[in-house]
Amino acid sequence: MTKILNEADWPLHQLVPGTALDVTLHLTNPPLDVLLPMLPKVRLVFSNQFRKQHLEQLKASGLLLACVPFPSSRQPRGATGSVGIEQLQQLAKLPFVESLWINGIQSVQSRKRRKRPARSFHCVQTTVAVQIEGETQGLQLYEQRWLLIKATSCEDAGEKVRNASRTYAEPYLNSDGKLVRWQLESVDDCYETGLTKLSELDNPDGAEVFSILKRRRLTSDRMWDGKSD
């Protein structure tokens, strides 16, 4: 698997020798089994020294020109700079390079920018009111509905859901002869799954289609010492 995360977005095979690419790369972190026996503060110091050593090796390789560490040279997590098209793969294969992102190729624009915006599956959470003809009081039935839809953004996904809701809300007769409609009340939330193909949903480990981060009170049964399973 390539470490160049957006390699397919750029016409690399069309570039002439000597072409320079602007890139951002992330340095590898120490192995977890090395960090595990250390105290948290010691882990931070060790990790920082680990990456600083690799940053010096990166500079010494001469592959990344105008190398600028980020977020700082004292606590580097990666670096930005330029690399010749001939040295790109060599740079990416360095063992201490975790991943690499191409930011630009002189005046060449990304293929993805020339195409229509990329689409991925978004999971949209909605509230739908079940409205029955003539009912004005009592408890109303409503539906919490999650829709998986392919879109370019959450805004695009929300708009598609609103458009599709017109069909979902078409009235019909219930067993009492009353008109019923399932009316979209609100678009409550949206989650970009990152999935682009239906085949990715057929994953034996599962496919994440929605996620919400919340906070709750920390109790003894929810604590973890970092060692136990």
- What is the residue-level pLDDT of the chain in tens, covering all 229 positions? 679 988 888 888 888 888 999 999 999 999 988 998 888 889 999 999 999 999 999 999 999 999 999 988 889 999 999 999 999 999 999 999 999 999 988 655 544 555 567 889 999 999 999 999 999 999 999 999 999 999 999 999 999 999 999 889 999 998 989 999 999 999 999 999 989 888 888 889 899 999 999 999 999 999 988 877 7
The separation between CA 179 and the C-alpha centre of its own chain, rounded to angstroms, equals: 43
Structure confidence at residue 110 (pLDDT): 47
pLDDT digits (tens, 9 = 90+) for 93-122: 999 999 999 998 865 554 455 556 788 999
Nearest to 148 by CA among 170, 171, 128, 119: 119
> Residue 79 has what pLDDT?
94
Per DSSP, the residues of 48-115 read HHHHHHHHHHHHHHT-SEEEEEES-SSS-SEEEEEEEGGGHHHHHT-TTEEEEEEEEBTTBPPHHHHS
Dist CA 114 CA 191 (whole Å): 26
What pLDDT, on a 0 to 100 scale, did the predictor assign at position 225? 85
Domains of the chain: residue spans and CATH: 7-113 (3.30.70), 120-201 (no CATH)
CA distance 190 to 124: 4
